[in-house]
Structure 1
C-alpha cells in the first residue's frame, strides 16, 4: 500500500470508474457459448491460453468481453510474476512510448496511462517519456485484478495434441498436457485438459528458445557463459570480473548496465555490425493501417518487410545506451564479431578482427531461434504446420533461412496444417500462435503492447466465429421456441385483439 494517501485515493477513484465503465458497456452482457463435454464426461474449456503475461491477459479479457466465459489461463510462474518483467527484462523503462494502449479493449479507465496517473500523479506522468519497467508490471497485476482474469499459476504446458474419442462429424478438440508445481516444490503428475481452442501467448521466445550460438557454447565452460535472457543471473557474483557481451541491441546494453551497477571490473560489448544502429524502423510502421491490416498484404510484401527488419535491426534504447556509456569501465566495439572463443586458464580468450580479449565471463545477447523441438507445446505441432518456406520462395537476394522457418498462419493467428485435407490434422488450426512466431504472417507487434490494440480483436474474432458456427444448428430452433413476452396487453385489449 502506498504511503501517499492522495495516491491511494486516486487509485480508488479510478477503480470505481473502471467498475462503472465495465457496467455501462456490458450490453449484451450474456455468455452465449453452448457448453461442450467430452464423450468421457470431461469438461471442455472454450479457450485455454498458455501464458499469463500481457498478451495472455489481453486475450482473456477480450474474450470475456465478447461473452466467452469459459477461458482458462495457465502459467508456470508464481502469481504476479508472469511474463518477462521481473524475470529477465532488465531495462529501466519500456521501449514503447508511454501513451501506448491496447490491453484495455476500449475501456479507457483500464489503460496504462489512466492507471499510472491515478497511482503516481499527473506530474509524474508528465515527467516520463516511457513507463518504468517495474511500474508496468505493477499495472499488469492491477489489470488482472480489475478484469477478473483467472490464471492457474505454477502450471506449465507440457504438450499439445488431438483429443481422442471425439465422434466423427464433431469439431476437433485439443488435448493440453499440463504439469503443476505444488507449494512444497513437488511436481504433480501430468494431467490433460481439453479445449476447443488453444492460444499460445508465450512471448518473444514462443517460437523456440533463447540460444547462445552453438560454435561459442561448445568451446566455453558452461559456468563462464550465460544468455542475456536467462532468469536468475547472479550479477553480484560477477563483481570484479571482466565481462564480454556479444550483441548490440537493448538486451545487450541493459545487461551491461546491470553488470556495471553490480561492480563488474569492466564490460566490453562487441557486435558484428560496422555501425551501431541509430534508427528504429519499427517506429515507421506504428500506424493503424499497418498494425491492423498487415496480414492482408500479399506474401511477397510481407516477406520483404520482415527481411528489412532482419537486416535493419532496432538500436538499443537511448536510456540504456546513456546508462552504459556513463561508466568509465564500459567500452563498445563495432565490427567485432567473435571469430574465435576458447577457455584459457581461469578465463576465456575472445578473438575479434581488431583485438584479442581475455574475459572472466561471457554474456550473449543473441536473441532467439525458431526451434519447434525446444518447447514442449510445439514439439508435436512442428511436423504438422505450414511454414513460410512451404508457401513462399523469395528471390535469392531476399532469402532468409530463419524467416522461412516461421509458421505460415491463417487470418486469426491459427496454425495451418501441412496437409489440410487430412482429418487427423484438423486440430492444428485450433491452436493460435499469439506470440513472436507470428511476426512474418502478422507483423512485428503481436508481443508488443503497441500491437495488442489491433492483434487482439483479430484473434478473438476468429475464435468467436468458429464458436458461433459450431452452434448455428441451434439458432433457428431456439428462435422458433422463444416465447418471452416483451409487451403485455390489458385483458380487454387482448380479448378484442383475439376477436
Structure 2
C-alpha cells in the first residue's frame, strides 16, 4: 500500500481527495451587503480546535463566506502551548479528530508522512506541542480564513436581523456584520475559570488558576500547593515539580481520587449520535451523575507526579482557609496547616456572563437548563443548571417573553463550546467526536440559512429556464410518417 512519503506528498493527496469529493462544493448563499460592506454568512468566535473544524465543516456544505476571529496570535490559539501542561494528549492517538471523514486530513496521515508508519505505531500518545503543529497545518492546507489578534468586545443585535460584532485589533476598533455567529470559545466557553471564595482571602499574587499562563521556571525552589484531583491538577503539579519546585502539596477534598470515568464506559457512536435525542430527564441524569463521580486523571498523569519524592497528596483535605504569612501563605485544611509560596486552583470553569462582558447582549435572554428542567429532589446541580439549554443545531433558545425580533436574533447565535455538553453530549469537549459535532452544526446552519432565504431560492427555481434539450436531439417518427403519406 502506497503511503505519502513526505508532507508535500500528503498535501497533494489531500487535494486529490478533496477534488474527488467535490470539496468544497459551489457556494449557494446570496451575497449580503450593508452600505457596500460585506456581511459574513457565519462569523466564528475562536480559532482553536472547535473554531477550525467549524470553518472546515461549513465549507464542506457550501457555506464559504465564513471567517473566524481569535484573540491569540497565529499559532497560539487554544490551550495547547499556552496553559495546557500535560506531556501528551489524553485522547487515544487513533481518534480521527477534526478530519471530517477525510483520511488524508487526519493526524495519523500528517504524522506518518513526516516520521513514518512505524514511528506512529511506536508512539504511545500524541505529544501536546505536536498537536498544535498539526492544527496549524490543518488550517493552512484547508485555506481557512482566520483573523488573529482580534479581541471581541461586544455582540449587538440589529433590527435588520444581522449581528454586529465589535473587535479590537492593534488598538483600533472594527465592526463586522454577520448573519450567524458561532461561539467556539473552548473550555471557558461562556464564563471564566472558577475560583472558590477562599481564594480571595489573600493577595492575588499568591493565587493562580490552572488555566492561567504561569511561568513555571519561576517556581524553582518554591513551595507550591495545587487544589484539585483532576487531570489539570496533576498536570500543574507535575509541571511545577519538573521546573524544580522544592515541594508540591496536592489537596483533594474527597477521601479518594476519582478512579472511574463513567463516560468512557459509554463512549460509542450510539452515544455520539443519539444523546441529543434523549429526554431531558435522561440528559440531566447523565450529566449530574458524571459530575458527582468526576472524571479521574489519567494514570500516567498521576504517576508523573508521584514519581517525585517531594510531591505530597493530601486526601479528605478541603481548603478551609488561606492566611497570609509574610511572603507566603498558610493553607489550612481539617488535617493541618501548610506553608506555601503559591496556590494553584485547578477548579474548572463556570458559565458566568458577568465575567464575559463581550457576551452581555445574551445575558438574561437565553434559556438555561434551570429554566427548562426541574430535577427531582436530590438531583439538583447548580453547575449543570447554569449551562445553556440549546436547540438541535447548538443554537441558543430565547427565554419566554422576549420580543419576537430579539428572540429570533438570539437563536442566530450558536454555542459550539464546552457548555453545549449537557444539551448535545460530549461532542464539543474534546477531540474524538468533534467532527460529528461540527457536521451537526454545519447542517443546522445550512438548513437555517436556506429557510431564511427561501424566497430567494424559490424565485431562482421558478425563474430558471436554461434548457437541457434544444429540440434537435430526436425526430418525431409519427410526424415523418404523416408527411410521407401526405406527399403520396
Whether these two folds match at TM > 0.5 is yes
Using the alignment, how far apart are the partners of 1:315 and 1:65 within structure 2? Answer: 36
Residue of structure 2 in register with 1:127 after alignment:
122
Once the two structures are TM-superposed, the CA of residue 392 in structure 1 deviates from its matched residue by 0.7
Which of 25, 31, 45 in structure 1 is aligned with 2:27? 31
Which of 442, 449, 468 in structure 1 is aligned with 2:424? 442
Which region of structure 1 is more displaced relative to structure 2, 336-345 or 412-421?
A: 412-421
Residue of structure 1 in register with 2:486 after alignment:
none
**1:397 pairs with 2:378:** yes
**1:427 pairs with 2:374:** no
- 3-state SS of paired residue (2:350): strand
Name the CA shift for 1:257/1:27 in 2 (closer, same or farther; >3 Å). Answer: closer
Using the alignment, how far apart are the partners of 2:302 and 2:183 within structure 1? Answer: 33
Paired residues, number: 478
**1:194 pairs with 2:177:** yes
Using the alignment, how far apart are the partners of 2:315 and 2:479 within structure 1? Answer: 89
Q: Contact 1:157/1:376 (CA < 8 Å) preserved in 2?
A: no
Which of 98, 102, 107 in structure 2 is aligned with 1:107? 102
Which of 241, 244, 250 in structure 2 is aligned with 1:263? 244
Residue of structure 2 in register with 1:4 after alignment:
none
- 3-state SS of paired residue (2:156): strand
- 3-state SS of paired residue (2:81): coil
Which of 271, 277, 289 in structure 2 is aligned with 1:308? 289
Once the two structures are TM-superposed, the CA of residue 373 in structure 1 deviates from its matched residue by 1.6
Using the alignment, how far apart are the partners of 1:74 and 1:496 within structure 2? Answer: 66
Q: Contact 1:52/1:82 (CA < 8 Å) preserved in 2?
A: yes
Q: Contact 2:317/2:334 (CA < 8 Å) preserved in 1?
A: yes
TM-score (normalizing by structure 1): 0.91
Equivalent residues in 2 for 1:321-336 (5 A)?
321-336=302-317
Equivalent residues in 2 for 1:68-87 (5 A)?
68-87=63-82
- 3-state SS of paired residue (1:332): strand
Using the alignment, how far apart are the partners of 1:421 and 1:266 within structure 2? Answer: 55
Which of 163, 166, 170 in structure 2 is aligned with 1:177? 166
- 3-state SS of paired residue (1:445): coil
Using the alignment, how far apart are the partners of 1:491 and 1:378 within structure 2? Answer: 62
Using the alignment, how far apart are the partners of 1:16 and 1:485 within structure 2? Answer: 38
- 3-state SS of paired residue (1:319): helix
- 3-state SS of paired residue (2:6): helix
Q: Contact 1:161/1:380 (CA < 8 Å) preserved in 2?
A: yes
Instruction: Give a deviation string over 1:301-325, Cα, whole Å, max 9, x none.
Output: 1011100111011111222111111
The structure with more radius of gyration: 2
TM-score (normalizing by structure 2): 0.93
Residue of structure 1 in register with 2:84 after alignment:
89
Which consecutive aligned stretches of 4+ in structure 1 deviate over 6 angstroms post-superposition?
A: 494-499
Using the alignment, how far apart are the partners of 1:364 and 1:492 within structure 2? Answer: 80
Residue of structure 1 in register with 2:340 after alignment:
359
RMSD: 2.1
Using the alignment, how far apart are the partners of 1:43 and 1:240 within structure 2? Answer: 55
Instruction: Give a deviation string over 1:447-469, Cα, whole Å, max 9, x none.
Output: 31112132111111111001111
Using the alignment, how far apart are the partners of 2:24 and 2:465 within structure 1? Answer: 19
Unaligned runs of 5+ in 1: 1-6, 167-171, 182-186
Unaligned runs of 5+ in 2: 484-488
Using the alignment, how far apart are the partners of 1:162 and 1:66 within structure 2? Answer: 26
Using the alignment, how far apart are the partners of 2:273 and 2:97 within structure 1? Answer: 12
**1:203 pairs with 2:198:** no
Once the two structures are TM-superposed, the CA of residue 121 in structure 1 deviates from its matched residue by 1.6
Using the alignment, how far apart are the partners of 1:491 and 1:351 within structure 2? Answer: 91
